[in-house]
Structure formats: C-alpha cells, structure tokens
Amino acid sequence: MHGTCKLCKKDTKLELSHFIPKFIGKWLKKTSITGYFREGNQINKRQQDIAKDYWLCGECEDLFSNWEREFSIKIFHPYMNDSNLVTTYGAWLSKFTASLSWRTLTYIRGKNINEPKPKDYLDTISKAEHGLAKFLLGESSNLYEYEQHLYPLDVIGSTSIQDLPTNINRYFLRTIAMDIVGNSNGIYIYTKLPSFIIIGVIKTKQSKEMRASRISISGGKISPRTFTFPEGFDGYIIDSANKVSDTYNQIPKEQLAKIDKYVIDNSEKVTESKLFEAIVHDYQRFGQKSFRK
C-alpha cells in the first residue's frame, strides 16, 4: 500500500505495522489455553494476531523491529522465566519504550480525532508526538520531559488495597492495552504488555517520585526494586482490570461451552499454559470469586 509514513512522513510504500509488537501476539497465542486470544472490541471473535495497519515505511518498521528484538531476547522472555531478573540494558531500551509510547499516542489520537478537547491539551499532545518522533528518528539525542518508565509486574499474592479485582493477576500477566491517561498531576501514555507497563510522560509533577522506573537514555540496569506509579494510577489500573472482567463476562454461553469442552479434551496442554497459571494465581488469591459470575 502506498501512503505517508506516520513516523518519517515520507510518501512511499507502507508496511503492515503492529501497534503492540508482533512477538507479544505470538507469545500470547503460544501460552494461551486454546491457541487463540480475544480483544476487548471484538470479544465474540477469536483472534490469531494483534491489531495492525499500514502505518510505517520499511525503514521505520526495521528501526522498530531491531529494538523489539532486543527487548524480546534480553528482557521479556528472560523475565517470563524469572521475575527476579537482573540484567543490564543499552540505549536501545529508551528507543523501544519511546516507540511504544509514540505508537500508543498516535493510535489513540487518531482514534479519538472527533472527541472535543481543550486546545492547550491538544497542543501538548501534538508536541509530545513530535518530540518522540524526533528522538526515534535520531534527530534528537534526548527525550527531555518525555521520560519513559518501565514497570515489571509480578503475581499479587497479598495486598492492603481494598476491593482488588478478582482478575488482577490475569490483567497483570496477560492483558495488552493502550491509552492516554490524564489527571491534575500530569498526562501519561499508557502501554500495557503482559507482565509490563510502559508509561511515557507527556507532563508530570512527579518525576522525582517515579525515578526508580525511569529508563536511562544511555543504558542502565533492570532489577527488583520498589516502583512508584503516578498518583491516581492505582485506581486507573483497578478500573481497567474490572472493565476487562466485565467484557469477558459478555462472551456468549455457547462459546464458553466450546472452551469448556476444549479444556476437558486437552487437559494436559491446558495446565501447562501461562493463561492457566494466571488463572490459578487469581483462584489462590480470591477463590471462586475469580471465576465468571
């Protein structure tokens, strides 16, 4: 398909680009119970691939693919095997996380193009998209205020938070999502991967409090530590997990019956899947309440 590349703005041949990296979709399929997954906007339909569109030229797609490969090999898969992972990273990680934030920001902006917003908000969002693009294209060597933050997620065995969603482990370990989140303290780009949350700062009053999760431009170290989300994100994450649960409760009974039959007929494969493992974590924490109402 011929068109304008969303990143470099060249008029050229475009390639199908995944909004969430393709390797994530492959991992979700491989570690699912049935070999398929479902997306929130098409919950009644089984999916074999995650959302994609003709967005990038070949050169920009290759840029993203190189950073995705580094994250997949050096952080994502090792972390799935050991959540106590300690590893170093190079400048590629700031590029990878910024590419996710740019994709999420650009996608959500396009999706909500007719939604009324104040001019200063739209100007701020537009400036952030341009700043991220310059960094990704090598036209700027710094992200400046558009910090990237990486939050590794682990199983929640116990917590002091009240009314925690009964699918919280499934949300942490399995869900993918994209959003722009704003409150009185800032505006943030939210990209959810299995076992990871990437938050791209558009503006914030809490940079100091979030320091532990900040990705260094030149490289650094990933290790277990105490992370702080921006104020209000606990509530946002809880609401998001509840929405996922509500959406999955809309799966028709006849489709659930087919899933139940598959589980019975393929019990050994099912119990070895990562999705089953996440379900067990929720059951251990919440008991029968973790299942469909």
pLDDT at 152 exceeding the cut of 70: yes
Q: 3 with 11: CB under 8 angstroms?
A: yes
Structure confidence by residue, pLDDT tens digits, 62-110: 999 999 999 999 999 999 999 999 999 999 999 999 999 999 999 999 8
pLDDT for res 127: 97
Name the helix (H) or strand (E) containing 22: helix 22-30
Which residue do the tokens 């917003």 mark?
A: 117
Which of helix, strand or coil describes residue 189? Answer: strand
Indicate if the pLDDT at residue 118 is higher than 80: yes
Q: Residue 260 — pLDDT band, cuts 50, 70, 90?
A: low
Q: What is the chain's length?
A: 293
Higher pLDDT, 183 or 196: 196
Q: From residue 263, give the alpha-carbon distance in Å to each of 4, 141, 209, 212, 272.
A: 46, 51, 45, 41, 12
Condensed to tens digits (0 to 9), the pLDDT of residues 44-63 reads 445 556 788 999 999 999 99
User: How much is the mean pLDDT over the chain?
Assistant: 88
